[in-house]
Amino acid sequence: MTRVLGISGSLRRGSHNSALLRAATRLMPPGATLEVGSIRGIPLYDYDVEVRGIPAAVAQLKEAIVAADGVLLVTPEYNNSLPGVFKNAIDWLSRPSADIKRVFTGRPFAVIGASPGQFGTVQSQTAWLPVLRTLGVHAWFGGRLALARADNLFDEDGNLKDAAVEEQLKQYLAGYVGFVRRAAPVPTA
């Protein structure tokens, strides 16, 4: 079984990105699962807090990543870049820096996103690149999913209602899971 952990970078109840992640959980290829992780409860990064101990919400998400074969980031776009709350969560996950190897290095990551705007989350996804490079993840660039006009793609209950986008998402996930399966196992040390 291939295990992927998905993380939405939005905290709002009606989030398009969280809805996209939920839709992805039921569109995974055979033999693969997508578990939903959460950034909720992660405080603002503060070194003084770090030295007192890694917050429980951070530790929990870190272990969920370590237990996964790959990580799918589902990112909103704020001011043509990535959202601060999401970056803050990833910053916490990279602490202490000695844990970067265990949590990030060589782990297959992919980034998708949705926005009500006409360019989807193209700029936000691009803004993640230096972060992912710095953390040494094994990023997948074989597909791209930046959903524009997301207001029209989900119903009132947050269910994906666009068949073409559903097919696009399915294809994306199949490509990404293939990449995860071909990737060398992530070293545990």
Ligand X SMILES: Cc1cc2nc3c(=O)[nH]c(=O)nc-3n(C[C@H](O)[C@H](O)[C@H](O)COP(=O)(O)O)c2cc1C
State which of residues 2, 4, 5, 15 lies at the interface with ligand X (CB under 6 A): 15
Residue 50 structure tokens: 């770090």
Determine, following the binding rule CB under 6 A, whether residue 69 of this chain makes contact with ligand X. Answer: no
Question: How many residues interact with ligand X (rule CB under 6 A)?
Answer: 13
Residue with tokens 């993640």: 128
Chain residues 111-130 in contact with ligand X, contact rule CB under 6 A: 115-117
Determine, following the binding rule CB under 6 A, whether residue 80 of this chain makes contact with ligand X. Answer: yes
Question: To the nearest whole angstrom, how small is the minimum distance from the Cβ of residue 188 to ligand X?
Answer: 33
Determine, following the binding rule CB under 6 A, whether residue 87 of this chain makes contact with ligand X. Answer: no
Determine, following the binding rule CB under 6 A, whether residue 17 of this chain makes contact with ligand X. Answer: yes
Determine, following the binding rule CB under 6 A, whether residue 175 of this chain makes contact with ligand X. Answer: no
Q: Which is nearer to ligand X, 12 or 26 (CB)?
A: 12
The rounded distance, in Å, linking the Cα atoms of 56 and 159 is 31
What is the H or E stretch that residue 17 is in?
helix 16-25
Task: Sort 152 into a burial class: Cβ within 10 Å, 0-12 / 13-18 / 19+.
Answer: exposed
Determine, following the binding rule CB under 6 A, whether residue 6 of this chain makes contact with ligand X. Answer: no
Question: To the nearest whole angstrom, how small is the minimum distance from the Cβ of residue 185 to ligand X?
Answer: 32
Residue number with the shortest CB distance to ligand X? Answer: 117
57-88 per-residue burial string, b: 16 or more CB within 10 A, e: under 16: bbeebbebbeebbbbbbbbbbbeeebbebbbb
Determine, following the binding rule CB under 6 A, whether residue 78 of this chain makes contact with ligand X. Answer: yes
Interface with ligand X by CB under 6 A: which range of 28-36, 38-46, 109-117, 127-135? 109-117
Q: Which is nearer to ligand X, 41 or 84 (CB)?
A: 84
SS3 of residue 7 by DSSP? strand
44, 53, 102, 152 from 98: Cα distances, Å: 20, 14, 8, 43
Determine, following the binding rule CB under 6 A, whether residue 12 of this chain makes contact with ligand X. Answer: yes
φ, ψ for residue 10, nearest 5 deg: -120, 140
Give me the residues that bind ligand X (CB under 6 A), please: 10, 12, 15-17, 76-80, 115-117
